[in-house]
Structure 1
Amino acid sequence: MTFFVHHLRQPLLLASMSLLAAGPLYAEQAQYRFDLPAQSLDQSISALARQTDSRILFNTDATRAVRAPALHQQLSVEQALRQLIANSGLTLSRTADGQYLIALPAEPSQGALELESSTVVGRLPVATTEGSHSYTSGAVTLGKGVQKLKDIPQSVTVMTRQQMDDQNTETISDLVERTPGLTAAKSPGSGLFIYSRGFSIDTIQYDGVPIPRNTYSLGSYLTEDLSIYDRAEVLRGPAALLQGGDSPGGAMNLVRKRGQDKATVSLTGKAGSWDRYGLQLDAGGPLNASGTLRGRTVVSQSDNGSFIDYVRGWNQTVYGALDYDFTPDLTVGIGMANQKGHSRPAMLGTPRYADGSNPDWSRSKYVGADWNRANNDQNSVYLDASYRLDDNWRVKAAGVYMSEHNGATYQALWDALQTNGSTENTYIDWSTDFTTHSKGLDLYLDGQFTGFGFEQTFLLGANYSHIETDDRWARAPTFGADWSNVDHHRPMPSIYDLASRSRGELTGYEVEQKGFYSRWSVNLTEPLKLILGARTSWYDYTYNAERFDHSNQNESSTSTNGKVSPYAGLVYALNEQWSVYTSYTDVFQPQTSRTSTGSVVEPVTGSNYELGLKGELLDGAVNASVALFRYDQEHRAVLDRSGSKGCDGWYCSKASGKVRSQGLEAQVSGEVLSGLQVMAGYVYNTTKYLEDGDYKGKVFSPWTPKHQLKLWADYTLPGDWNRTSIGLGTTAVTGTSSYDHVFDLPGYAVWDARVAYKVNDEVSVAANLNNLLDKKYYQPAYSTIDYNNYYGDPRNVMFSVKYTPVF
């Protein structure tokens, strides 16, 4: 007999065999909303097993040739299996250990238990969110190993593949705008800054490996395509335990797509407003008969017009990945990606009037030149290996290398508009050439054991990151511009022309960080869990700059050695669904400002306190949470205006600044009713300077709204209409301020909608309508009266057709 083999190949699965055993217990009683097309029976059984975390044994020879009916209703696992095998001649039974067995009537059930001929079909909810049709995940890998959302004493959000597809989430900018608690602040370049709780998220994790990314001055624009990722896991609040010296905003983990156990192919075409077109091929599956070698490839191409005159561009992504099981306990994976983008951008946005009032530009207004251009070329290599020592312990090693080039040459208006009626202004011409090389390594041991009568888990690891840049930039103004009649056809300058006319610099950054981390948890009593952790970090930062003629050389550096960051949490299970928690996290962030004595200002330090309630409802179909948090930060560098101007002709600094961020977060995600998937998040957040020579009492993070609501719901119609789904959502925020605290931006609510229809089991069509009410608003940004004011997208539509052949 040849039984279908579904190894626990994902490294994440190997770490948590104990959780797999719980799968049948849930599946036996739980009701699930199934949405399976008519296809071969082995495909339907595999999809059902992945969705429900069930363990199912079956004969592939007997099931591959059977055509299973479509299944679009809510059933238990056993009910669903019986419908799938109806009229097939196969039987359904249960083994002694609770597994489901599908077999020919003449097959002895004991044969299924021979290890040589069969293993179980099963999955952990975190293995992949593809095919789950869900807006939530039972657990995450953001904190190393596998952790249930309910057991993490901090706020966490998972943006699943299903939600990304439903909302047509293609870029990190789209992701941030649709993830509860995050704010996307438009940078002066072509990228963005990510903020959470008023602080930036400067480090991005790739499959759990952290590397510095979100720093405009280093040329990392964060413009990459999300088509190669299965999900995004976001932790709000400090992540010093795993990332060391870093901003307290939080952490984002992008988890790559991998080859699955069944061959899958999808071809998606898109066409939308402003001449936007896209085509994507996504294919993967086993590459040998035993399924021990699996591959995945994604090829994506898009051409994008814009509502802004002259603006357009194209993007291309090519991704390939292989995973190989050397043994049932050892899996090694490698992936490579190249992402390119070329565009004529509207850099630096538009200015406002000098008194901060709004000139009410047309949304199509372009103040650049026809030679504005920006290009991005990013190459990434991913490597990981996971080894299961036994059923309770696993070692994982992972590495990421990323090489990125960002270049741009552009024109923009540079000065605030005069209020006396004059249209005179200034053109600023910029040219940038940024090259960045980043690498990160992470190694950890994760396991569980029972000692002194207590169930315990332990994590011990180390990671390393290094980023080095080779950058150059130049700019020069041209006075006498007329902002009412912008000249788009001025001669294009070179970077050397600009440097000779005004200013140009050669700059370089080198940032290295390494550390050891550990986390220990113990179930003190049946409902109470104690979590303790600490990290010891070493941090080195060097910056150098000089003019193009190699004059005015300047170098600064800072180091932190053996800095310890403690972490503690308590989780109390009220019942099987709900738990309350409290946590404390310590944070440090090195600074580069100098004091009057010539030394570097000591690192910023902070403490985060959080109290929350979490629920895992409807057998894991829904996750809910609410949290209160307060983060106090001190030793921020502020200008020492009582001293002399001894730091490059200006005041030196001292460590006396204090900032507080506090608020409430609430979130619900998952299938709250049959066929209704929801992601809803509300955040109340205030940020304030407690001590600062210039801004005391003012808002610290001007682009962070006090109130934020993000909601998206998708409903699959019941009965004969079950091939149709309808989505609706909003992003609503209260007003924010400009970076220079001169003017306020009003709040806004933007509504989006979607209608999708399954033509048949292989073809589906959808229409996403964004900014349904055509709200005219400015995006949160590093905006000033002089530049960097950007409108949000007007009403637009994107049509898509997806073809997924049934094998």
Structure 2
Amino acid sequence: MIHIFLFSRRTAKPFLVLLFLLFSGSKTIAQQGAVAGHVATTDSQAAMGVGVALRGTTVGTTTDAQGNFAIDKIRPGTYQLVVYLVGLEPQEQRIAVEAHKTTRADFVLRESATRLQEVVVQGTRSQFKADLPSATLRSSTPLLETPQNIQVITEGLLKGQQSFDMSEAVARNVSGVTAQEHWGNYTRLNMRGARIAPFRNGMNVESTWGPLSEDMSFVERIEFVKGPAGFMLANGDPAGFYNVVTKKPTGVNRKAVTFTFGSFNTYRATADLDGTLTTDGKLQYRLNVMGQLKDSWRDYEYNNRYSIAPVLKYKFSDRTSLTAEYTHQYSRMSAIGSAYVFSARGYKDLPRNFTIADPDLEPSDMHDNSAFLLFEHQLNSDWKLTAQAAYFRYNQVGSSLWVKSVDENGDMQRTTSSWDAQNNSKFGQVYINGTVKTGTITHRILGGLDYGDKEYLADWNQYFELDQNRPFNIYKPVYGFAESGVPTFDRSKPLRERAGGNMLSQRYGAVYVQDELGFFENNLRLTLAGRYTKARTQQYATVMENEKLSPRVGLSASLSSNTSLYALYDQAFIPQNGVLADGGKVKPITGNNLEVGFKRDWLHGRFNTTVSVYQITKNNQLVSDPNSDPSQNFSLQLGQTKTQGVELDVRGELAKGLNLMVNYAYTDSEITKDTDASRIGLKVSGYAEHVTNTWLTYTLQKGPLQGLGFSGGYQWQLNRFPWFVADGTPGGLPDYFRLDGGLSYQLKKISLGLTINNLLDDYLYAGSPYDFDYNGSLDGYYWQTEAPRNYRVSIGYKF
């Protein structure tokens, strides 16, 4: 058992020692200086991702998208400042750092922007590590100093693994994240014992069955924020969320195309066009397009997609810009739910290619549209104003496939129902970031307003039983509906009329204020924040109104320029519906997160390790009222669950050409309060007790085979608890181990890649015992298989 008490007697001593060291060293700290500058190419373009370091020290950083860099907390003295990038000759400047001053140092690389891109293609600068959160997370605090565990999956890591969309092994890159069974149209990721909410560009786009899984062709990075984060949202699960950040214009003219083919008749083409539309560079654009045909290892299954994502950015000045972005995704797939397999005998009772799908069933079509408008204005060197609005519209016309019963002899009764759905969401955000000083204390201020309005409605009301004239036997399957005919759905009425009461919606408004106080030249940082949220939630016919003030307290201390400790307390709440026997008002679930952690950068900032220990307690969970009438319409608000664990994330560049990502998580989630005492101590569904992953890449830097790369990694999950089982039973799932590997070759502008997944060709699956009769007894099993050994080959060209 892991227990965390931030200010207990046991943890007070280390904090007092830390404070003593900071006070005793305050004289030295107060005399520190800084260096800042800009790195450009010979054609005056910003040089992004270039390493900057002080020779002979462990202090370093990389340039941002604008070519800027800054290094603080430097002792006064004379240094050699080095600018380096694999494949280029380093440049140096001799600088003098003075106390309380920032020394300026600018560089012009001897290459043009085009040449620099060629070098980046040939080189292998760290592709796995990020130093700053995206602007969509609102915080300007470096990840090393942030009092929270935030892990970033970079574009380079996604490309190296040849991931197509969110559902394809993205979870392996962050500790404790697991992908649960899915319907095929959206991705469900669990972390810290619960489903985490999907965000896109800082907007919470979660719906019960959505959004459509994002294609990686237009994704810049994915940020996993562990635990609640009041600066983003309070009315959500305290387990955390992930934020998909889409590609934006960089102001550098560059283009790339990639073609991929592979197992299961997979064909995919992407194009990424980036540049300027005017000679002064004020009007910039980014266009990403993708087309894909992909079958499955199971017959009659497919998922064909295309997407288009244009972005325009206009820079009114160096301080003010307006960005307009539109994304359209389309997917045509086999009947939703066909990935599930059922049997009365047990898991693995059927071959991996078995399917309950049928060639006569109609496909499901999904259109996912989103539009963003982003305004950014730098008020002065210390303050920035950001305003963002977004509109999402998702339309689905299709059906779901399920099973009513299955007998020991294999006779199965399949069912299908309509699943036409629509999701409409509107968001608005206005926030301001700034820095002020009061005496020796630095204040990083964040304040803002949030608005969200989400509505999901669906037609599930048209239901058909298949196989009425003859049973469908899973051991001797015969496909087609020649005798009974193909069921048809009536779509003559508008969806809203057909949906009836099948509607879920939420409207909320919130105000948030945060002050990060920096002491001793910002080596000790205290975060004090609060978020007031008012939400109106409708779940089918029940309407709930909640308002809550959620506090946030964080403490982060820099032991050196590359090492920090942190502690955090944050809250979230989840609206829920129910009826109490005494007529009282149902309270929302409240989640409290206690967390401590350690972060360290190594090798001039190219490599990072993060360790976190946490405990999440959810209160006010509803349970059935044992004293209510036989209809069981009443609930008691007594339930509580507790999730606790340890997480380790390691990522970055170990040496030239050698990049590593490795993570591990221990998770324990159980019921701690319940009206039924026998349930106390049972596991909460939807996690694996131990999860560890690795991904390693190495690219030859010299010799005749320069540019040849090797990659490989595994996913390993032990003691898995199915998310669908609510009674805490393990579900009989075996441990999970998957090994993947690949080769790559980069020659100037051309790149080749080969990825082989499931190298050991294991029968991999996830599932759960199932109650076909809905009488409380588990009389069957369902599961989803993963693909057998399969390959993907990609050919890319940059120009």
Question: Cα offset for 1:41?
Answer: 5.8
Which amino acid letter does the alignment assign opposite residue 504 of structure 2?
A: Y
Structure 1: which amino acid aligns with 2:411? E
CA contact (8 A) 1:458 1:521 kept: yes
Whether 2:610 is the aligned partner of 1:614: answer no
Match of 2:532 in 1: 536
Name 1:299's counterpart in structure 2.
289
Change over 3 Å in CA distance of 1:733–1:92 after alignment to 2: closer
Change in 2 beyond 3 A, CA 1:508/1:205: same
Residues 243/55 of structure 1: CA separation in 2 closer, same or farther (3 Å cut) = closer
The structure 2 residue matched to 1:446, chosen from 433, 453, 456, is 433
Q: Which runs of 5+ in 2 are unaligned?
A: 1-32, 53-60, 68-80, 97-102, 117-122, 772-778
Q: Is the 8 A contact 2:276 2:284 kept in 1?
A: yes
- CA–CA distance in structure 2, aligned partners of residues 683 and 458 of structure 1: 33
Paired residues for 1:235-634 under 5 Å: 235-345=225-335, 347=337, 349-354=339-344, 357-370=346-359, 371-418=361-408, 422-474=409-461, 475-478=463-466, 480-490=471-481, 491-496=485-490, 506-526=501-521, 527-544=523-540, 555-561=541-547, 563-597=548-582, 600-634=585-619
Letter in 2 for 1:367: I
- 1:57 offset after TM fit, Å? 13
1:212–1:699 CA distance, 2 compared to 1 (3 A)? farther
- In 1: Cα distance, 2:335 partner to 2:88 partner: 57
Give the letter aligned to residue 757 of structure 1: Y
Name the CA distance, whole Å, in 2 between partners of 1:295 and 1:513.
33
2:149 is aligned to: 155
Residue pair 2:331, 2:367 contacting (<8 A) in 1 also? yes
Distance 1:726 1:780, change over 3 A: farther
Cα pair 1:372 1:411 within 8 Å, conserved: no
Q: Distance in 2 between matches of 1:786 and 1:594?
A: 32
* Alignment equivalent of 1:708, drawn from 688, 691, 694: 691
How far is the alpha carbon of 1:279 from its aligned partner? 0.5
What's the secondary structure of 2:604's corresponding residue? helix
Q: Deviations over 1:144-182 (max 9, x none)?
A: 132211111111110001001000122111223443321
Q: Deviations over 1:700-732 (max 9, x none)?
A: 443300000111111112321331111111111
Aligned-residue offset at 1:476: 3.3
Q: 1:497 to 1:433 in 2, by over 3 A?
A: closer
Cα displacement (A) at 1:343:
1.3
CA shift at 1:651, angstroms?
3.5
Letter of the aligned partner of 2:708 in structure 1?
T
In structure 2, the residue matched to 1:65 is none
- Matched residue type, 1:161: E
5+ residue gaps, structure 1, are: 1-19, 28-35, 59-74, 86-90, 105-121, 123-129, 545-554
Describe the shift of the 1:574–1:251 C-alpha distance in structure 2 as closer, same or farther (beyond 3 A): same
Question: 2:125·2:656 contact (CA, 8 Å) conserved in 1?
Answer: no
* Residue equivalent to 2:76: none
Give the structure 1 partner of residue 75 of structure 2: none
Match of 1:6 in 2: none
Identity of aligned residues (%): 21
- 1:136 corresponds in structure 2 to 129
Distance in 2 (CA, whole Å) between partners of 1:431 and 1:232 is 33
Instruction: State the match for 1:675 in structure 2.
Output: 657
1:77 pairs, out of 74, 80, 83, with 83
Matched residues in 1 for 2:478 and 2:403: separation?
Answer: 11
In the TM superposition, residue 779 of structure 1 has moved relative to its aligned partner by: 2.8
Q: Work out the CA distance in 2 between the residues paired with 1:22 and 1:708.
A: 41
Distance in 2, Cα, partners of 1:406 & 1:680: 38
The change in CA–CA distance for 1:793 and 1:742 in structure 2 (over 3 A counts) is same
| Paired residue secondary structure (2:217) | coil
Instruction: Give the one of 622, 639, 644 matched to 1:637.
Output: 622
Query: Aligned partner of 1:464: which letter?
Result: Y
In the alignment, the residues of structure 2 paired with residue 701 and residue 388 of structure 1 have an alpha-carbon distance, to the nearest angstrom, of 47
2:158 to 156, 164, 187: 164
Which of 700, 704, 711 in structure 2 is aligned with 1:717?
Answer: 700
Q: Deviations over 1:494-553 (max 9, x none)?
A: 234999xxx986522221111001111112334321111110000101244xxxxxxxxx
Q: Does structure 2 retain, via aligned residues, the 8 Å contact 1:238–1:247?
A: yes
Distance in 1 (alpha carbons) for counterparts of 2:719 and 2:65: 53
The answer (yes or no) to whether the contact 1:268–1:802 under 8 Å persists in 2 is: yes
Secondary structure in 2 aligned to 1:162? helix
Q: CA RMSD in A?
A: 3.3
Residue 686 of structure 1 pairs with residue 690 of structure 2: no
Match of 1:763 in 2: 750
1:215 aligns with 2:208: yes
Letter in 1 for 2:702: G
Q: Does the 8 Å CA contact 2:35/2:104 hold for their aligned counterparts?
A: no
C-alpha distance after superposition, 1:299-335 (max 9, x if no partner): 1000001101111131000110011111221011001
CA distance, structure 1, for counterparts of residue 191 and residue 165 of structure 2: 18
1:46 CA displacement: 3.0
SS in 1 for 2:752: strand
Q: CA deviation at 1:414?
A: 3.0
Amino acid at match of 1:538: K
Q: Deviations over 1:163-217 (max 9, x none)?
A: 0100012211122344332111123463332211011113x33222x2241412x
Which amino acid in the other structure matches residue 429 of structure 2?
Answer: D
1:753 maps to: 741
Q: 1:162 to 1:354 in 2, by over 3 A?
A: same
The Cα shift of 1:577 comes to: 1.3
2:335 touches 2:401 (CA, 8 Å); kept in 1?
no
> Comparing 677-686 with 694-703, which one deviates more in the overlay?
694-703
SS of equivalent residue, structure 1 residue 186:
coil
* Residue pair 1:702, 1:736 contacting (<8 A) in 2 also: no
What amino acid is the match of 1:634? N
Provide the rounded CA distance (Å) in 2 between the counterparts of 1:186 and 1:241: 30
Name the SS of the counterpart of 2:185 in structure 1.
coil
Task: Find the aligned partners of 2:492 and 2:358 in 1 and give their Cα distance.
Answer: 16
- The offset of 1:437, in angstroms, is 0.4
User: Residues 444, 788 of structure 1: CA spacing in aligned structure 2 closer, same or farther, 3 A cutoff?
Assistant: farther
**TM-aligned CA deviation for residue 781 of structure 1:** 7.2
Letter in 1 for 2:105: G
Cα distance in 2 for partners of 1:783, 1:76 equals 62
* Closer, same or farther: CA 650–81 of 1 in aligned 2, 3 Å: closer
Q: Report the counterpart of residue 9 of structure 2 in structure 1.
A: none
Q: Is the 8 A contact 1:229 1:254 kept in 2?
A: yes
Distance change in 2, residues 1:782/1:151 (3 Å)? farther
Equivalent-residue separation in structure 1 for 2:93 and 2:560 (angstroms)? 34
Partner of 2:645: 663
CA separation of 1:659/1:335 partners in 2, compared to 1, >3 Å: closer, same or farther?
same
Q: Which amino acid aligns with 1:731?
A: Q
